[in-house]
Amino acid sequence: MPLFLAAEPAPAMLANLIEALDQVETGIVLLDPRMCVRYINRRFGEICPGSDGLAAAPGLNFRMLVEHAACAAPADTASLPFVDRIEALVSAGNEEPSEIDLPDGRHLLLRCSPCPDGGRILLFNDITSVKAMQEQVREAYDLASRIRVEHQFNAETLESQAAYLASLAEAADESARNAAEANRQLEQEIAERRELEAQLQKLATTDSLTGILNRARFLALGQRTLEHARQLGRTIAVFMLDIDHFKAINDRYGHLVGDEAIRHVVAQLRAGLRDNDLLGRVGGEEFAVVLPRITRQSARRIAERLRRSVETAPLQRGADTIRITVSIGLAILHDGDQAMEQLLGRADARLYAAKAAGRNRVAAEDDAATDRHAYLELELRS
């Protein structure tokens, strides 16, 4: 992600993204989980004239947009199979590129990417000119092939046509070169579209401040890891981490330094985790970790190592040395666990126990004494 996005507030970052999307030469339509239109960029308005006016209407759904693109009213039964086919492709989340032949003779290339929230990212490219050029090339090759076959059988009588055949061959070669260039341009457009898709996917699944998994993506991958572990009879561990006295850092040094402290802690956590461990930001200064294929003892050692790495690596801000610590709650997969939220809930309870017991420590599910002391202290303070 570009560095300027991480430092900008969300409204400015969204405005920059919308401005960038309006500059691309691919038509973009964003749908919500109900298949209603969230956003239409400038290029789609050019591909489908008048659609930008439709976008202002509340409740505009994808079917209405397709019917408008087909220049057909909803009651026009001749257009229903065409509209139904496109609607079915998008509803099914079919990610394979699909060619769409519009009733007005234009040809579009549609790519659909499902979003984690159930919505859709739709990319449209007008390939009418490319299709027309390909058809011209095919016709030219067919013509050249017929002439060459005829020449083989009538060589004695077609000598006078040699110049004519040469000119046809030259035209066919020129058409072939044009087709090759058109294919190159189409491949470039597809590569640019895939890069844009990757950027949109990253925005939808990562935390803009730290670059790690956001809450929704972390829960989805964590649930997948839990189900995989249950199928194979393995265990997993879950950490909940919280930066101690984070509000004091914000109050004393300001929110920019607070953001820097969050990124500093994330860097320490990343360095202490394995490649297959999941790390996500689930709150302002709260983080969660999923460690697959690990024993209870190993999970405890890793939690202590993470805690020490943060404690022994203060943030240097000019002449100020900002010492940071974290509290960690640890939970292990139980036989009855079906959802990642169950492990996170127990790990969160352990986190509260660690904070109540004095912070800068690890509290696990088997720390009964620590738990009892922590909750008693928490009740007395409240």
Q: Which of 96, 99, 227, 285 is catalytic?
A: 285
Domain ranges in the chain are: 3-126, 215-381
**Could you give phi then psi for residue 339, rounded to 5 degrees?**
-130, 145
pLDDT tens, residue by residue, 292-329: 999 999 999 999 999 999 999 999 998 899 999 999 99
Dump pLDDT digits (tens) for 159-176: 767 777 677 778 888 888
Provide the whole-model pTM: 0.48
Mean pLDDT of 348-352: 97
C-alpha count within 13 angstroms, C-beta hemisphere, residue 31: 24
Q: Is 290 left (phi over 0), alpha (psi -120 to 50) or beta?
A: beta
Report strand pairing: 315-317 vs 320-322. antiparallel
Answer yes or no: CATH 1.10.1520.10 is held by domain 3-126: no
**Cα distances (angstroms) measured from residue 235 to each of 215, 269, 292, 298, 330:** 22, 21, 7, 12, 13
Whether the Cβ atoms of residue 261 and residue 210 lie closer than 8 Å to each other: no
3-class secondary structure, 322: strand
Largest Cα–Cα distance of the chain, in whole Å?
A: 112
CA distance 96 to 328: 44
Which of 18-32, 39-53, 151-165, 263-277 is predicted least confidently?
151-165
Verify whether residue 181 is a known catalytic residue: no
DSSP string, 245-312: THHHHHHHH-HHHHHHHHHHHHHHHHHTS-TT-EEEE-SSSEEEEEEES--HHHHHHHHHHHHHHHHT
Q: How confident is the model at residue 77 (pLDDT cuts 50, 70, 90)?
A: very low
Class of domain 215-381: alpha beta
Which of 22-26, 202-206, 212-216, 362-366 is most confident?
212-216
Q: Are 337 and 344 a contacting pair, CB within 8 Å?
A: no
d(Cα 369, Cα 359) in Å, to the nearest integer? Answer: 16
**Length reported for the chain:** 382
Q: Is the pLDDT of residue 240 over 80?
A: yes
